[in-house]
Structure 1
Amino acid sequence: MAGTGLAFVSPGAMADDTLGLSQSLYALSGPEGGAAAAGASTPWRFSMGMGVVNMPKFPGASGTKWEAVPLVSASYDRFFVGANADAASLLSLGAYLYRDNNWRVGAAITYDFIEPRRESEDPRLNGLGDVKRTAHAEVFVVYTYQFVTARASVLTDIAGNDRGTVATFDVMGKYEPTAGLTLTAGPGLTWASSKYNETYFGVNSEQSARSGLPPFSAGSGLNEFRLSVGATYRFATHWNVGASITAAWLHGDATDSPVTEKTNQMTYGLFASYLF
């Protein structure tokens, strides 16, 4: 997409929590694609594709699930809709407020593509209720210098679904060993508000009575560290394929929560897209 310098646009913080999925998307940041790659002099950029992701059933889960995700995006000059890696979301509507050779600053409204947590997905969730999809307001800043890119974002639930506020920060290094092949890797962290942590890791008195889990109150703070690795390969003018792995480690109250079964979380993704 224009201005993003990305080979893939797909799933997030992905505002879908599915934070690992959003970081998998960001790990696939690669060479600029679409019309720019084809040499067309137009402000329009489009991307269409599909991905498949293996991810935890819920934050703190020991089991995993497979999800198919669409990679559909369009942009005109500084405006974008659909999947966007700078916004780390599959469903976004936004604009770049400032762009130059190093900086990209933008704002977006995003919506969860994947339902974050369903009580029916795992016996451990019985009595805890579902975590609903929601809309988020987001501001993101991306800075690139030579082969290193840093990205920071803040997302806030604006639909009143108790999802709170999440801030993320990631640094990604890029290496191109051969023409068309781009490798990326780097660390990241997530800070979450008490509302977010209460929704995912807290157990109130009613939930405790229904589930049998002990009551637990979760406060704000750093709740995840991660390492993301990605690879994209442009095998034709308009075609890219890619893979990503994100290893995440829960931190703080998330590790002590009775909801949490496993503190290390893995997300794997395979993607293909057509850029035009």
Structure 2
Amino acid sequence: MIPYFLTLALALGSSLVIAQAPAPRPAAAAASDWQLRAGAALIAMPKYSGGRELRTLGAPLLEARWRENYLISTVRGLVYEQRLGQSAALSLALAPDVYQRRPKDGPRLLGLDKFEMAPALRLGGEFAEGPVFLNAVLSTRLGSGSKPGGRGSYAEFELGYGLLQSSELALALGVNATLMDAKLGQGLYGISAAEAGRSRLRPHAVGAGLHSVGGFAQLSYQLDAHWQLFAKASLASLRGDAADSPVVERKRQPLLALALSRSF
């Protein structure tokens, strides 16, 4: 399941389908090296990956872009982007990774070690050809190697098709998949012998491989020259060792993200 800030990043900043219908820049800002955006984002998602109970989170959306390549964002972190022609781009970012597993998030997590948030280094790539687009992000957590999942890595892919693209409205459908290494997978879904003794759940080992597959729909609407509304809904299905974990209450994981922002 795609974590909170990364989902918003894919939704609000990295899709070339949206970038093909950008908000017109104010005349005063056209000659400036800076582009500013402010707004708010809301997301509904399970409390933990594999959980049944949903939670709703709100976050400010503040972004400052300098000379097209450098970005500081409450959603995407510290980012360097480089376009490769008209249809491709690469990015490197340092941002928080909010995958976590806390005992308070569900009864099946009682007695298990806490899996905490950590900073992460992310390498992203985008490609678009006509209505077809591909997003890929490789994330490596930079937390403590002695803690569960502290140095885990995962790769996420989105393949989509733009059903409608105009100066005001963009609508797309697509599929996504997540691959995860054993360190991160064990931290999120694994149960050690010691944890099994404390929680009364059976031990469970998680190896590297396919973590989830799913589908999504996203919409971007330009309200006027400054304001933009974005919505994204997805449903991911856990696979492999993750799906077989005793901590999983529901294999199908829904997510809804909404954002309203203004460019300056």
TM-score of Structure 1 vs Structure 2, range by shorter chain: 0.7 to 0.9
- Secondary structure class of the residue paired with 1:200: helix
- Aligned letter for 2:189? F
- Secondary structure class of the residue paired with 1:59: coil
Contact map agreement 1:138 1:154 (CA 8 A) in 2: yes
1:159 aligns with 2:143: yes
Structure-2 change in CA distance of 1:179 and 1:29 (3 Å):
closer
Partner of 2:40: 50
Q: 1:108 aligns with which of 93, 113, 138?
A: 93
Partner of 1:70: 60
The share of aligned pairs that are identical, in percent, is 25
Contact map agreement 2:16 2:126 (CA 8 A) in 1: no
1:210 aligns with 2:198: yes
1:244 aligns with 2:232: yes
- Aligned letter for 1:235? L
Instruction: Within 5 Å, give how 1:184-223 maps onto structure 2.
Output: 184-223=172-211
1:171 aligns with 2:171: no
1:61 aligns with 2:51: yes
Query: 2: CA distance between counterparts of 1:218 and 1:128?
Result: 15
Residues 16-36 of structure 1 show CA distances to partners (whole Å, capped at 9, x for unaligned) of 5x7666655567951223737
Count of aligned positions:
256
User: Unaligned regions of 5+ residues in structure 2, if any?
Assistant: none
TM-score, normalised on structure 2? Answer: 0.87
Query: 2: CA distance between counterparts of 1:145 and 1:115?
Result: 32
Structure-2 change in CA distance of 1:202 and 1:37 (3 Å):
farther
Contact map agreement 1:28 1:230 (CA 8 A) in 2: no
Structure-2 change in CA distance of 1:91 and 1:21 (3 Å):
closer
Partner of 2:168: 180
Contact map agreement 2:159 2:175 (CA 8 A) in 1: yes
Instruction: Within 5 Å, give how 1:255-274 maps onto structure 2.
Output: 255-274=243-262
Instruction: Within 5 Å, give how 1:140-155 maps onto structure 2.
Output: 140-155=124-139
Contact map agreement 1:57 1:65 (CA 8 A) in 2: yes
Query: 2: CA distance between counterparts of 1:121 and 1:33?
Result: 39
Contact map agreement 2:88 2:126 (CA 8 A) in 1: yes
TM-score, normalised on structure 1? Answer: 0.84
Query: 2: CA distance between counterparts of 1:206 and 1:220?
Result: 22
After TM superposition, give the deviation of residue 98 of structure 1 in Å. Answer: 4.5
After TM superposition, give the deviation of residue 105 of structure 1 in Å. Answer: 1.0
Query: 2: CA distance between counterparts of 1:28 and 1:67?
Result: 26
- Aligned letter for 2:108? R
Partner of 1:87: none
Q: After TM superposition, which residue ranges in structure 1, 4 or more long, deviate above 4 angstroms?
A: 18-29, 36-39
After TM superposition, give the deviation of residue 271 of structure 1 in Å. Answer: 1.5
Contact map agreement 1:148 1:174 (CA 8 A) in 2: yes
- Aligned letter for 1:54? A
Contact map agreement 2:119 2:142 (CA 8 A) in 1: yes
Partner of 1:79: 70
Partner of 1:4: none
After TM superposition, give the deviation of residue 228 of structure 1 in Å. Answer: 1.2
Partner of 1:3: none
CA RMSD, 1 decimal? 2.5
After TM superposition, give the deviation of residue 141 of structure 1 in Å. Answer: 1.0
Structure-2 change in CA distance of 1:252 and 1:117 (3 Å):
same
Contact map agreement 1:204 1:215 (CA 8 A) in 2: yes
Partner of 2:222: 234
Contact map agreement 2:162 2:172 (CA 8 A) in 1: yes
Contact map agreement 1:233 1:242 (CA 8 A) in 2: yes
After TM superposition, give the deviation of residue 186 of structure 1 in Å. Answer: 0.7
